Amino acid sequence: MRTQVAIIGAGPAGLMLAHLLHLRGIDSIVLEARDRAYVESRVRAGLLEQGTVDLMTETGVGERMHAQGLLHHGIKLRFAGQTHRIDFQKTVGRAVMVYAQQEVVKDLIAARLGYNAPLHFEADAYAIEGADSAHPKVRFRHGGKEHEIDCDFIAGCDGFHGIARHAAPEGKFATFSHEYPFGWLGILAESPPGSDELIYANHERGFALLTMRSPTVSRLYLQVAPDEDIANWSDARIWDELHRRLSVPGDDPVIEGKIFQKSVTPMRSFVTEPMRYGRLFLAGDAAHIVPPTGAKGLNLAVADVRVLALALEDFYTRGDECGLDGYSEKCLKRVWRAQHFSWWMTTMLHRYDGDAFDNRRQIGELESVVNSQAGQTYLAENYSGLPF
C-alpha cells in the first residue's frame, strides 16, 4: 500500500488528523488494532474545550455535538461546606461542551467512511521501519495477512502502550512522569445529573466530582487509593460516599440510579520529548498523559494534530518544512502548560492522607481562587482552553 501519511490509532487524535488531512487533499491510511464496536463504545473523556468545539464545527463534524452536547458556561467548586461558581463566560468569554469522547469518535468515523477514505479496523500495526528515512514503512496484520504501508510520514496516535513511542532508537526520546498517590473510582449511572454544571468537591474524606454524559446519564468520581479493589465498593457504598462528599447544607446534587459501569483509574502525568523522530510524529496519549482533573487529555490530542495537519499542508503545498521542524516545540509548550494546570487542579482538590498542614493549605488556596478575579480568570482561561 502507498499513501502520504500512515496514521496508527483511530482514537480522537488519529481520526481528527485523518479528517483534517482529507480536507487539505492529503491522503492517509488509518490503522486501528481494535474493532469498530470497541472503539465507538470506549468510555474516556467527556469535556471539550472551546477550541475543540470550534474545530469540529468548522470542519463539518459538529452537527450531532451541537444537537446532543451540553453547553456549560462555568463550573462549581465546593469546599468547606460552601459552593462557589466560576463563570467562564463572564471572565474569559468562552464555554465548554460536555460531549463524550466516544461520540466524537463516532462522528469522525462516520465522516471518514462517508468519503470512502481508508480506515482499517482490527489492523495490528507491529513494526515501524525507516522512521528516519524519506520513505518510512508500517507493517501490520489484517484479515490474517501481512501488509506493508509505504509512506512519507507516520503519525503515532496509538496511545501510551502503542508501538510508535518505542519506534525510535534508545536515547532519542526522553520521558518525564509523575505518579499521584491516589486514583479515581468512576461510575456511569442511569440518573439525571443533580447539577446543571460540573461540581468539583474538596472534602475531608477525599475529592469527588459530579459530571454528566447526557440529561439522563451521570458520570461521578471518588478519590480512592490507586490500587483500590473495585470489588470492595458495592453500589450502596458508592452512593453513600458520593452523598457525603458532594452534599452541602441545603443542597444534595446526587441523584441515585442504576450503575452500569464502574472502574478505578490511577492518576499519573507523562510527557515524551521530543514528539518527533525523523518522519515519525507522536500525538495524543502516545506523547503525553495528564490527570483527568483538568479535562485536558482529548483536547491536547486535538491541538497536537491541528498543528501537525497545518505543518503537513505547508510541506505538500509549498515544500516548506518549518512547521514540521517546529511541531514538537510548539506542541510541548501547550502540553507543559496543560500539565501544570492539571497538576494544580489535582493537588488543590485532592486530600493527602496524614498531611494536616497541606489539607488546610488547600482551603486557603481555594479561598484565594474564588475570591480573586485574577484567580477565577486563570482557572477559567485554562479550563475552557488556551487559544490555538
Residue with cell 456511569: 188
Selecting among 203, 221, 292, 327, the annotated active-site residue is: 292
User: What is the separation of C-alpha 91 from the centre of its chain, rounded to a whole number of angstroms?
Assistant: 24
| CA separation for the pair 321, 313 (Å, rounded) | 10
Kindly state the greatest CA–CA separation across the chain. Answer: 65
Residue 292 annotated to the active site: yes
Helix/strand/coil (H, E, C) string of 78-96? EECCEEEEEEHHHHHCCCE
Residue 22 annotated to the active site: no
Residue 277 annotated to the active site: no
310 is written with which cell numbers?
Answer: 497545518
Residue 80's CB: how many other CB atoms inside 10 A?
13
Residue 200 annotated to the active site: yes
Selecting among 72, 106, 288, 350, the annotated active-site residue is: 72
For Cα atoms 325, 330, 333, give the angle at the middle one, nearest 5 degrees. Answer: 145
Residue 296 annotated to the active site: yes
DSSP-assigned states of every residue in 291-348: -GGG--HHHHHHHHHHHHHHHHHHHHHH---HHHHTHHHHHHHHHHHHHHHHHHHHHH
Beta-sheet strand order (sheet of 280-282): 119-120, 28-31, 5-8, 153-156, 280-282, 276-277
HSE-CB at 159 with a 13 A cutoff on CA atoms is 12
Q: Output the CA torsion sign for 34, 39, 43, 47.
A: positive
Q: Single out the residue of 145, 118, 103 nearest to residue 26, CA to CA.
A: 118
User: What is the separation of C-alpha 334 from the centre of its chain, rounded to a whole number of angstroms?
Assistant: 14
Selecting among 99, 200, 277, 327, the annotated active-site residue is: 200
Residue 302's CB: how many other CB atoms inside 10 A?
26
Selecting among 73, 106, 120, 296, the annotated active-site residue is: 296
Q: Output the CA torsion sign for 185, 189, 191, 196.
A: positive
For Cα atoms 77, 82, 84, give the angle at the middle one, nearest 5 degrees. Answer: 40
375 is written with which cell numbers?
Answer: 484567580
Catalytic residue numbers, as ranges: 72, 200, 292, 296, 383
